[in-house]
Structure 1
Amino acid sequence: MAVMLVLLGATASAPLVRYVLPEIVAIAYEIQEREIVYSWGGGHAERPGPSKGTCLGYAGKIKPCPAARTRGLDCSGFTRWVYALAHGADVLGPGNTDDHLRKMRRVGSPLPGDLVYFGKNRKKTRHVGIYLGGGRMMNAPETGAVVRVDDIDRVKGFLGFYRY
């Protein structure tokens, strides 16, 4: 009886985590319909959502760097905004892909709504997208593009699938 009371108390005080993966996918598709442009550093203002980017660290193809005058999203700004809308709070925060990955756990069997990361290793990531299933992801891919669906194998350096 004492063990049951301890277990009941432990589970009653544990935070409830909502199952939001389907919502994440639905929100990602809604955002794609808005044709929001890519902006290096966009989506990293105090609050999630489109914002002007930065030219600091920019190495894109379009010169001169358009980010400081372009309101939009980069890849991690996009996933940050979608996750904030789905979870009702800024769960990923304003950091970059490396910062966001530290808040995630790797999964072997991905579900639509998980994040897919690319880079050299867990400490040097360079791209993130929202897994849609079937080898596809929604992402903000590069300067000059809008949020769109791409094949995962279009991006080099696959690191794995991660869940919040």
Structure 2
Amino acid sequence: MHRIVTAVVVGAVLTAVMIAAGGLLLLQSVFGTSNPSANALADIPADYLILYRQAATLCPSLDWSVLAAIGKIETDHGRSPLPGVHSGTNSAGAGGPMQFLAATFAAVIARHALPPGGATPPSLYNPHDAIDAAAFYLCDNGASHNLRTAIFAYNHAIWYVDEVLDQAAKYASAATVGVGGCAPAPAPNSRAAAAIAFACRQLGTPYVWGGNGAELTELPNGQTQVTGGFDCSGLTKAAYAAASIQIPRTAQLQYDAGPHVPASQPILPGDLVFFGSSPNTVTHVGIAISAESMIDAPDVGQVVKIEQIRRSNFIGATRPAWM
């Protein structure tokens, strides 16, 4: 595990704040449950982003952005042309997208069964296996209670720890509107909260007409790619399915199903908001996270994101959480 790409500016400001505020508690508040920033979505390949977010669930309190920062610093998410990324090793004997020493990788997979989806047998050159192993390795070294120590174990240098945390902060930065953080107002009930939580986790997922979700597909060369995605009503249907509420598949049928929110009442988090030319010609739907913003899958070539609830072609709202 040795850095093989050019360094970015060390996060001195973040480090100083962490020390002044007590280190771990602030660290967990910054990286606890983040969503990808616009910076992350522009820089991280879609398949790697999904892998980082999935792997982080293997270690309590570990945020995906830390794994992504390590992947960026080590090999630019597998894009570095230097030796040891796709085969062989670098000058320090490390290989693969997360730059594991072979002995370290072997020790990790001896302690932990890697989730399915990687190579058979597991390979440090397979992104799925390498990222999952990195999550386990950080957890074994105390990431759940002392993240700085765990990152230091990954690469024994203070500058490396600071650089990882600085990059992670850029990837986890929140945004009011866009594809960044998702901080909804308090939901009116647990079902609305569950639907919003699901939609928040889909930020950055590609738009696909008729899509009901994204999956990772392994290619013959051992790499992975994202297939599938959501369209607008596929996202809202899946969000409410996660809350154990079944709604129709299309935007028009979802609007027709109600229950409708009276125009005199404010939009609440979890409400579905609809757009079109008339109540009989509904063409788009999103899920509100406040009275002004929503999560939606906008159109071809875009991704699931946070947008303003536009009023120009607003038809109305429904409240499935009360069904």
Q: Are residues 74 and 156 of structure 1, via their aligned partners in 2, closer, same or farther at CA, if it must alter by over 3 Å? A: farther
Query: 1:21–1:111: 8 Å Cα contact kept in structure 2?
Result: no
The equivalent residue for 1:3 is: none
| 1:97 paired to 2:266 | no
The equivalent residue for 1:42 is: 211
Letter in 2 for 1:152: I
The equivalent residue for 1:115 is: 272
Q: Equivalent residue of 1:133, what SS?
A: coil
- Compute the RMSD of aligned alpha carbons: 2.1
Q: Equivalent residue of 1:130, what SS?
A: strand
Query: 1:76–1:128: 8 Å Cα contact kept in structure 2?
Result: yes
Q: Equivalent residue of 1:117, what SS?
A: strand
Q: Residues 79-90 of structure 1: matches in 2 within 5 Å?
A: 79-87=236-244
Q: Residues 18-57 of structure 1: matches in 2 within 5 Å?
A: 19-32=190-203, 35-43=204-212, 49-50=213-214
Q: 1:152 Cα shift?
A: 0.9
Query: 2:210–2:231: 8 Å Cα contact kept in structure 1?
Result: yes
Query: 1:24–1:113: 8 Å Cα contact kept in structure 2?
Result: yes
Bigger radius of gyration among the two: 2
Q: What is the identity percentage for the equivalent residue pairs of Structure 1 and Structure 2?
A: 34
TM-score by length of 2: 0.34
Q: Equivalent residue of 2:202, what SS?
A: helix
Match of 2:317 among 152, 155, 161: 161
Q: 1:21 Cα shift?
A: 1.1
Runs of 4+ in 1 over 4 A off after TM superposition: none
Q: Equivalent residue of 1:149, what SS?
A: strand
Deviations 1:2-56 (A, max 9, x none): xxxxxxxxxxxxxxxx851122112211121xx210011112xxxxx348xxxxx
Q: Residues 124-163 of structure 1: matches in 2 within 5 Å?
A: 124-153=281-310, 156-163=312-319
The equivalent residue for 1:7 is: none
Query: 1:114–1:161: 8 Å Cα contact kept in structure 2?
Result: yes
Q: Equivalent residue of 1:102, what SS?
A: helix
How many pairs does the alignment contain? Answer: 119
User: 1 or 2, which has the higher strand percentage?
Assistant: 1
Counterparts of 1:134 and 1:83, CA distance in 2: 19
Q: 1:140 Cα shift?
A: 0.1
Query: 1:116–1:160: 8 Å Cα contact kept in structure 2?
Result: yes
User: 1 or 2, which has the higher helix percentage?
Assistant: 2
TM-score by length of 1: 0.65
Structure 1: 5+ residue stretches without partners = 1-17, 44-48, 52-69
Structure 2: 5+ residue stretches without partners = 1-188, 216-226
